[in-house]
Amino acid sequence: MPRDTSSSSATSEPTGDSVTPTSESRLALVRRARRMNRELIRLYPDAHCELDFTGPLELLVATILSAQCTDKRVNAVTPKLFQRYQSAADYAAADREELEGLIRSTGFFRSKANSIIGLGQALCEHHGGEVPANLDDLVRLPGVGRKTANVVLGNAFAVPGITVDTHFGRLARRFGWTASSDAVKVENDVGSLFPAKDWTMLSHRMIWHGRRICHARRPACGACALARWCPAFGAGPTDEEEARALVRNGPFS
């Protein structure tokens, strides 16, 4: 696949996750990043949060459960969980053994149960049982960090936020949008390249691309539609046939 190098006169060799162009102006970086986002929009027109939920509390609990666990597994667990616990007060008063039994298959179930019970108690004590719609209050809740808070803000309250999970951080470094491995710095670096209104959907598309194409160990570079703008092209197989064998969950061109 031909690659467009017009936005950068020189790039570093692809080594690991962090590949930042060495001679790229700020304007060129913004233009390249936004061009890549337009391609992500074309690739993933249906991108969305892959956790099942019907309201902020359900999404908050599901996101806590998703730590070190697949969304598919969380979605298999939450129907019974959400039927049993329908309010913050229900979680606050939950029988620990029963709750742990319902979430056991998501892993780290004891610490997750602690967070969820503490979450219910904190919501009842400080927020009238409702999930707050601002970052500062969310990150003070048990088990809630910036990543979880931004998932909830963007998908339950339509408040723009960037979700820096492992996929997002890996791709942002490979794309040369940041050189940092610190999640807050990544959030700020990438956020500065795009209008705030784009942040939530950009997060979904980056995560989808990371799960499907730009894998941690062997990215499918030869089958990636972003290759022409990506400084990390060559981190994985560049032969199209070999690369397509690595693609998960759908064709991409």
pLDDT at 25 exceeding the cut of 80 = yes
Active site residues: 147, 165
Range of the domain at 36: 26-43+162-244
CB burial of 162-201 (b: ≥16 within 10 Å; e: otherwise) equals: bbbbebbbbbbbbbbbbebeebeebbebbbebbeeebbbb
**30: confidence class by pLDDT, cuts 50, 70, 90:** very high
What is the mean pLDDT of the segment spanning 5-19?
42
Find out whether 115 and 64 touch, Cβ atoms under 8 Å.
yes
Residue whose structure tokens are 């032969």: 239
Cα–Cα–Cα angle for 70, 14, 224, rounded to 5 degrees: 55
Q: Look at residue 249 and tell me if it is in a domain.
A: no
Domain edge (last residue) among 156, 174, 205: 156
Predicted local confidence at residue 5, as pLDDT: 38
Find out whether 183 and 169 touch, Cβ atoms under 8 Å.
yes
Domain edge (last residue) among 101, 123, 156: 156
pLDDT at 12 exceeding the cut of 90 = no
Q: Which two tokens stand for residue 97?
A: 């053994």
User: 150 and 167: one domain?
Assistant: no
User: 152 and 71: one domain?
Assistant: yes
Domain edge (last residue) among 107, 127, 156: 156
Query: For the chain, what percent of residues have pLDDT higher than 90?
Result: 88
pLDDT at 21 exceeding the cut of 90 = no
63 DSSP assignment: H
pLDDT at 2 exceeding the cut of 50 = no
Predicted local confidence at residue 251, as pLDDT: 41
Cα–Cα distance, 93 to 217 (Å, whole number): 43
Predicted local confidence at residue 1, as pLDDT: 42
Find out whether 222 and 240 touch, Cβ atoms under 8 Å.
yes
Domain of 117: which CATH number? Answer: 1.10.340.30
User: 166 and 152: one domain?
Assistant: no
Find out whether 143 and 112 touch, Cβ atoms under 8 Å.
yes
Predicted local confidence at residue 20, as pLDDT: 52
Q: Look at residue 10 and tell me if it is in a domain.
A: no
**15: confidence class by pLDDT, cuts 50, 70, 90:** very low
- Residues contacting 183, CB < 8 A, separation 6+: 146, 147, 164, 169
User: 73 and 118: one domain?
Assistant: yes
pLDDT at 122 exceeding the cut of 80 = yes
Domain of 234: which CATH number? Answer: 1.10.1670.10
What is the mean pLDDT of the segment spanning 133-162?
97
Counted domains in the chain: 2
Q: Look at residue 116 and tell me if it is in a domain.
A: yes
Predicted local confidence at residue 112, as pLDDT: 98
pLDDT at 151 exceeding the cut of 50 = yes
